[in-house]
Structure 1
Amino acid sequence: MCTGLVVTLSACSAEDAPGGKAEPLKTVGAAEGALNLLSLPGYVEEGFEDRSVDWVKPFEERSGCQVNVRTVGTAQDVYERMSGGDFYDGALVPSEAFGRLVAADGLAPVNTRLLPSYKSLDARLRGLVKQGDETYGVPAAWGANLLLFETGQAQPASWGAVFDPGESKPHHKRIVWRDGPHAIASAALYLKHRKRSLKIRDPYALTTGQLDEVVSLLREQRPNVLSVWKDGIQSIEAFAAGDAVVGMGGLHELDVLARGGRPIAVAAPKEGVTGWYAAWGINPRVRHPNCMYQWLDWVSTPEVQKQVAEWRGVSPADSRACGLLRPGFCTAYHVGDRAYIDGLVFPRIPDEECEKDSECADWSDWTEAWSSLG
């Protein structure tokens, strides 16, 4: 039997919890003194790279929770560690892994009533981390996977300029892709309109047959691509040098290039645009639940949202941060732009029908398919 804490979500193992699932915390009690986090780069900063960029030490001082963080590079890393039994109290989970973690019981429900800042986060993002009546995460940031182009070129009207070997022929070897599953989703969005016989409904929920068709298109196009970028700086450098004239990018890349005077703009592809988000989630085997809930509320405050937005070059989940950010930031990043964010196609938690369908491509299928492209 698990004892010793006045909270419901505690340091019990999955075997201690009925059905292997933890219950949400009911009250926040005394801090346990430690907090073990898993994160992508730039979301848990304590002044190592820049002394002025530190939202960890202030949290430790006010909460009494000593933060220990392991930084990993990809969504796949987060997925494997959170679903593999590693004892992190929580993780910053990218959207492409979030839904699959929920489906695999790799995230615990969150009692948002214990988080005063939660209700101020963007409503669309809050909806994306819910399944039924349960909330499984706290949105931290978001962005869009944009079609960027050099204004001296003809403005593309379709994602075919990036993914279709025929349509992209005028700028072969001057195309850049974003690394990872988001490229698959954007290409699926293109094929949803270009090849309707595939019957793609959701570019983030593909059957194995649909995934094969998308990967076949990407494989055919891959030799025509200049580079596949993991870090936005690679995309910025390619466009700034004039090596790239069209490709995938984000609001950060566009903002940096525009402020640097580069003639780069955003196209409006007729197929639409996919989006991404990152959200903090709780490990069902959380060892320090009181510290974890204090962290969830801390990173949702406008002050921390502002720091993350500036440091990472992302859109904050809370528009209240706009009052603290530099003039023009929120306009450039579409913060609070209801029509813009509602128009994006985001990853979502897979529905039960997809999960029970043997033809529904799972996370391992996506990652294996992307890795096969080289």
Structure 2
Amino acid sequence: MKRLRAVLAVCTALCTGLVLSACSTEEKAEGRAEPLRSAGAAEGSLQLLTLPGYAEEGFEDRGVDWVTPFEESTGCQVTVRTAGTAQEIHDRMAGGFYDGALVPSEAFGRLVDGGRLAPVNTRLLDSYKSLDVRLRRLVEREDTSYGMPATWGADLLLFETGKAQPASWGAVFDPRESKPYHKRIVWRDSPHTIASAALYLKHRKRSLKIRDPYELSAEQLEAVTELLQEQRPNVLRVTEDPTQAVEAFSVGDAVVGMGGTYELDVLARGGRPIAVASPKEGVTGWYTAWAISSRARNPNCMYRWMNWVSTPEVQKQTAEWRGVAPADGRACGLLRAGFCAAHHVGDRAYIDRLVFARTPDADCEKEPECAGWSDWTRAWSSLG
């Protein structure tokens, strides 16, 4: 139960936290910080902002603690502040004085564009080149890195074997294709769900000319919203956290729905015949990355922290505690058999197909302009 509470808190942050935000994605850029040129003496303290489960100090479980060994080996005394949502990470990094943060993909681009994150000198990170190359590219802007990937995952299409065998996201989003599963469908409660539905319409209704599910025009967003509004009465449950999806599948109420590797693992361990479909439209994904604040007062301790959490040993602990894929495949040699295969760690083709989450931005190359995040949150709220 202790591990479950930590997992739930982060899943809520990644999947539902941004529902609370209806603000514009526009940012007012601050002065750009320069990357640290060389490693210096540790300042003695470190102020971290993180989602739950990424900087464990043994409070939930005495055996789960990678902060204390870091403090003992570096002399950097860590103060951990926890944020409940991706939006809170963004807002507190924009207004507070932290040395660094664990930033979810939904907030990463906005913090970079707003000048809140400092460029990273990757030559000072011992394990940087061992991190997945696709994830490294996601935290770069014009060949400059603004973070160090930590974990990642995919938004999965789950189904109960013997009762369903979906090959498309239409099984959860299209009222016609999903007819055999009506009132047995699970959605996630997040505007992020719009992207998965947009991925479906990109292939199902090509006249919309959707190129990127996170870069929708007002017309495209309206089309996706109309599809979701039509399908909403056929949905059994819109889940706010993973336990609700686990419960719906475990008692047999749900047959198809959205989920992640955590839900799949819990259901499999419970003996439920739940499997993952391979929708022809593809799947969306997410990542987290450690980043340095542009106002960091203790940058040397922050670089030491990033070196610490990117070691295979700490990557292994994080992956186990959080139930997510590590960014460094070397952790697979320390994880239990089958863990990395289940999470597709090192599966180049799988990772390269993922459409990783980011905050929809009204400032894009489309004509007319794209719908921004505030438009997405209003659209999601309209579903009731």
| Common topology (TM > 0.5) | yes
- Letter aligned with residue 45 of structure 1: E
Label 1:63 to 1:284 Cα distance change in 2 as closer, same or farther (>3 A). Answer: same
Alpha-carbon contact 1:37-1:68 (below 8 Å) kept = yes
SS at match of 1:93: strand
User: Which one of 278, 294, 311 corresponds to residue 288 of structure 2?
Assistant: 278
CA offsets 1:97-136 (integer angstroms, 9 cap, x no match) = 2122222223221111110011110111111111112111
User: Which one of 61, 66, 69 corresponds to residue 80 of structure 2?
Assistant: 69
> TM-score under structure 1 normalisation?
0.89
Match of 1:233 in 2: 243
Counterpart-to-counterpart distance in 1, 2:57 and 2:40: 25
Q: Report the alpha carbon displacement of residue 235 of structure 1 after superposing the two structures with TM.
A: 1.7
What is the aligned length? 356
Counterpart-to-counterpart distance in 1, 2:213 and 2:194: 8
> TM-score under structure 2 normalisation?
0.87
Counterpart-to-counterpart distance in 2, 1:37 and 1:121: 22
Matched, 1:53 2:43: no
CA offsets 1:327-349 (integer angstroms, 9 cap, x no match) = 11111111111122122122369
Matched, 1:197 2:199: no
Match of 1:361 in 2: 371
CA offsets 1:296-325 (integer angstroms, 9 cap, x no match) = 111111011001100110000001001111
Percent identity reads 76
**Structure 2 alignment gaps of length 5 or more:** 1-28
- Letter aligned with residue 71 of structure 1: T
Counterpart-to-counterpart distance in 2, 1:56 and 1:23: 27
Alpha-carbon contact 1:150-1:264 (below 8 Å) kept = yes
- Letter aligned with residue 25 of structure 1: L
- Letter aligned with residue 40 of structure 1: L
Counterpart-to-counterpart distance in 2, 1:202 and 1:91: 28
Q: Report the alpha carbon displacement of residue 358 of structure 1 after superposing the two structures with TM.
A: 6.9
- Letter aligned with residue 39 of structure 1: T
Counterpart-to-counterpart distance in 1, 2:373 and 2:360: 11
Counterpart-to-counterpart distance in 1, 2:378 and 2:111: 17
Query: Where do residues 150-165 of structure 1 align in structure 2 (5 Å cutoff)?
Result: 150-165=160-175
User: Which one of 127, 130, 149 corresponds to residue 137 of structure 2?
Assistant: 127
SS at match of 1:354: coil
Q: Report the alpha carbon displacement of residue 220 of structure 1 after superposing the two structures with TM.
A: 2.7
Alpha-carbon contact 1:97-1:363 (below 8 Å) kept = no
Query: Where do residues 240-279 of structure 1 align in structure 2 (5 Å cutoff)?
Result: 240-279=250-289
SS at match of 1:204: coil
Q: Report the alpha carbon displacement of residue 367 of structure 1 after superposing the two structures with TM.
A: 3.3
Label 1:112 to 1:368 Cα distance change in 2 as closer, same or farther (>3 A). Answer: farther
Greater shift in the superposed pair: 48-57 or 359-368: 359-368
Alpha-carbon contact 2:30-2:114 (below 8 Å) kept = no
- Letter aligned with residue 207 of structure 2: S
Label 1:347 to 1:293 Cα distance change in 2 as closer, same or farther (>3 A). Answer: same
